[in-house]
């Protein structure tokens, strides 16, 4: 109350209603709570935060720009979770915001995505930005995308960057048909069996002479041979219609593996599908072979089995070899029916003792899953 003189009428004075928080204020408050939040509540909180940023328009984009340029992040969990082809959980807030940015329309969002490509030290973030730029402006940023991936592949990666960059390099190499990325991709392929298989699959987009030379260099690398010799299931995913692949894997089978490895390699040999990794980083789209391509690949596997037959000398190996032949022939007769992809509701039954469940399996809203 304020009084003006003895006879003045007292009148209330409003101290003012609380001012609404700015976008930057509620964003930074959210940063302080996410790290300690329970996992199931955290994702809901991030979804709410993204909606608030989008509703704020240019101001929300500016807050995101400041966040990315400052190099800030909040670690959420390890790895990604995808449901029906959509990312529903990410390992960090930066990844969540970058995925969300891909769904924002307008030049401002495109410009911010471009800025992230130009400034991020993380190769997987660069691949996400490239994917978004390609969807919104196909081909416009190709040269810059390739140059950025080359630079990041040559630089030391941050401790918790989330990936060694292999998927980004392989997917971009295939999508852009970029031979410029071959040296960095080859160096990455030598690190582990998964990378070797992914690189070999990415070479499908290259001309035959380039592909053959790259495969020859790959199998000439002692570290590659050593890595592949430790995991029979990695070898199953290679393309045996490529003579250089069949010849070198036959040599690995004969000289670098024990009886147990050979038995595991022959088990489920026909069911391992190829081209399931392309698009894993977001660049391009995940692809599986057509029926005709599948038949060609299976025929290559059948010829390959004849090459390794002399090495299958024990009764168990001979039995596994004949089972593999029968399975491949059956798959050739029904290439579209062979595989583990199921769309829609119902029951998916994985039958047998083989390594049936693999990265190629996609289940969309199944009624139930039975493993026998």
DSSP state of 121: -
Position 321 scores a pLDDT of: 95
* Residue 66 confidence (pLDDT): 93
Encode 66-77: b = buried (16+ Cβ within 10 Å), e = exposed.
ebbeeeebbebe
What distances in angstroms separate CA 168 from CA 5, 122, 139, 179, 260, one per listed residue? Answer: 77, 11, 17, 14, 34
Show the tokens assigned to 13.
């004075």
Cα separation, 287 vs 247, in Å, equals 26
The b-or-e profile of 154-191 (16+ CB within 10 A means b, else e) is eeebeeebbbbbbbbbbbbbbbbebeebbebbbbbbbe
**pLDDT tens per residue across all 372 residues of the chain:** 344 444 444 455 455 556 677 888 888 888 888 877 887 788 788 888 888 999 999 999 999 999 999 888 887 766 555 555 455 566 788 888 998 898 898 999 999 999 999 999 888 889 999 999 999 999 999 999 999 999 999 887 665 444 556 788 999 999 999 999 999 999 988 888 888 888 988 898 899 999 999 999 999 999 899 988 988 988 888 889 999 999 999 999 998 788 999 999 999 887 755 544 445 567 876 666 778 888 888 899 999 999 999 999 999 999 999 999 999 999 899 877 644 443 333 344 443 333 333 333 343 334 444 443
Alpha carbons 170 and 121: distance in angstroms, whole number: 18
The predicted pLDDT at position 133 comes to 95
State residue 95's pLDDT score: 85
pLDDT of 107: 93
Q: pTM of this prediction?
A: 0.75
- Which of 157, 137, 133 shows the shortest CA–CA distance to 145? 133
| Residue pair 189/196 in contact by the 8 Å Cβ criterion | yes
CA distance 267 to 254: 17
Question: How many residues in the chain?
Answer: 372
* DSSP E strands, the chain: 81-83, 86-89, 347-350, 368-371
């Amino acid at each position: 109350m304020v009084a003006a003189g003895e006879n003045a009428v007292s009148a209330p004075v409003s101290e003012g209603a609380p001012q609404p928080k700015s976008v930057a204020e509620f964003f930074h408050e959210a940063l302080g709570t996410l790290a300690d939040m329970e996992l199931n509540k955290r994702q809901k909180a991030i979804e709410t935060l993204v909606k608030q940023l989008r509703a704020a328009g240019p101001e929300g984009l500016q807050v995101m720009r400041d966040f990315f340029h400052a190099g800030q992040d909040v670690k959420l969990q390890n790895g990604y979770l995808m449901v029906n082809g959509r990312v529903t959980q990410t390992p960090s807030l930066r990844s969540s915001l970058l995925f969300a940015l891909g769904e924002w329309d307008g030049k401002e969002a495109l410009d911010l995505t471009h800025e992230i490509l130009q400034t991020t030290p993380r190769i997987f973030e660069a691949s996400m930005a490239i994917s978004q730029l390609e969807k919104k402006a196909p081909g416009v940023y190709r040269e810059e995308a390739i140059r950025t991936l080359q630079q990041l592949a040559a630089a030391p990666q941050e401790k918790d960057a989330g990936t060694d960059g292999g998927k980004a390099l392989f997917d971009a190499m295939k999508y852009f048909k970029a031979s410029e990325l071959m040296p960095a991709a080859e160096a990455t392929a030598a690190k582990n069996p998964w990378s070797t298989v992914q690189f070999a699959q990415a070479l499908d987009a290259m001309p035959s002479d380039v592909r053959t030379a790259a495969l020859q260099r790959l199998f000439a690398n002692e570290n590659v041979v050593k890595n592949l010799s430790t995991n029979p299931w990695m070898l199953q995913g290679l393309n045996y219609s490529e003579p250089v692949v069949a010849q070198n894997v036959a040599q690995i089978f004969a000289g670098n593996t024990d009886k147990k490895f050979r038995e595991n390699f022959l088990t489920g040999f026909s069911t391992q599908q190829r081209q399931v990794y392309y698009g894993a980083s977001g660049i391009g789209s995940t692809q599986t072979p057509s029926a005709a391509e599948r038949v060609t690949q299976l025929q290559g596997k059948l010829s390959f089995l004849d090459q390794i037959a002399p090495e299958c000398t024990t009764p168990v190996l001979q039995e596994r070899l004949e089972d593999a032949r029968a399975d491949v022939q059956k798959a050739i007769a029904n290439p579209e029916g062979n595989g583990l992809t199921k769309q829609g509701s119902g029951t998916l039954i994985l039958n047998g003792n083989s390594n049936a469940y693999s990265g190629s399996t996609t289940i969309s809203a199944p009624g139930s899953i039975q493993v026998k």
